[in-house]
Amino acid sequence: MDHIKRILSYTRRALEDYEMIRAGDKIAVGISAGKDSLTLLCALAELRRFYPVPFELCAITVDMGFSAGMDLDPIRKLCAELNVPYTVVPTEISKIVFDVRKEQNPCSLCAKMRRGALHNAARELGCNAVALGHHFDDVVETFMLNLFYEGRIGCFSPVSYLSRTQLRLIRPLIYLPEKDVRYFASKAELPVIKSPCPADGNTEREAMKQLLAKLDREHKGLRYRIFGAMQRGEIDGFKPTSRMQGTKAYSDEE
């Protein structure tokens, strides 16, 4: 897997910069069956072989209960090949969100319920950390969404601690651009499954993604400058690193 080297480079950099992994951690990787979470799973499974800090892995998928369903057998096969135990958590989240509550803006409630199911399953499996597949573009998009729609400066954190569940949330792909995730998922032939959610692709996030793509074409490097500003401002746990060079933090040239 020569194409995984770039993925590992970005992932290890984030793990070290933010001290995401501690010796003896048992980490649950949240698997949505999309390209991001599967790329994260492959990266951590590979790093597990030689990373200086020893850790265990397992993978968890929260089944939303959509009638269309998803064939998760390819995911099971991948996890078996990577020697990562895989757990599927059945829920009725889709029924609650779309049929019972009939949410006009379902994403917030859905995400909250999904997180709760994932965290509970992680604790039951004896995990003390949960790894999520948010990448570089997710960081910038979330920052801009909060600014545009909520009028606040903020983002999710690279590392956060949930006192209620005593879980640590880590996001090892925060330096990895989405285009590299796409390339790896294609080259590695990852068993990506399209989300059956009717709201998929029709969200404020998708609109922000398109806006940032347009602005970045007109002002090349804009997303990297925004990310660099977040680090220099130490927004929500993001912090500058010794590798940053001016405003070109983790640019395509690296």
pLDDT at residue 52 in the model: 95
Kindly state whether residue 244 falls inside one of the protein's structural domains.
no
Q: Is there a domain that residue 202 lies in? A: no
What distance in Å separates the CA atoms of residue 174 and residue 157, rounded to the nearest whole number? 10
Q: Give strand pairing partners of 58.
A: 28
Is position 37 within any domain?
yes
pLDDT averaged per 10 residues in sequence order, the chain, 254 residues: 85 96 97 95 97 97 76 95 95 72 67 89 97 97 95 96 94 97 96 76 83 96 96 94 50 45
30 phi and psi angles, rounded to 5 deg: -75, 115
Whether residue 52 lies inside any domain: the answer is: yes
Cα radius of gyration rounded to whole Å, the chain = 18
In a domain, 178, yes or no: yes
CATH code at 74?
A: 3.40.50.620
Task: Indicate the number of domains in the chain.
Answer: 1
* pLDDT score recorded for residue 202: 58
- 201, part of any domain: no
Give the three-class secondary structure for 28: strand
In a domain, 252, yes or no: no
Q: What is the predicted pLDDT for the residue at 254?
A: 41
Q: Are 173 and 133 in contact (CB under 8 A)?
A: yes
Instruction: Give the pTM.
Output: 0.90
Which stretches of 73-163 are DSSP H helices? 73-82, 93-94, 107-124, 136-145
| Per-residue pLDDT, 2 | 60
Q: Write out the residue range of the structural domain in which residue 104 sits.
A: 2-195
Encoded tokens for 68:
């269309």
Residue 235 lies in a domain: no
Report the pLDDT value the prediction gives residue 253, as an integer from 0 to 100. Answer: 42
CA angle 121, 140, 133 (to 5 degrees): 25
Query: Is the distance from CB of 139 to CB of 235 less than 8 angstroms?
Result: no
Among the listed residues 72, 64, 150, the one whose alpha carbon sits nearest the alpha carbon of residue 110: 64
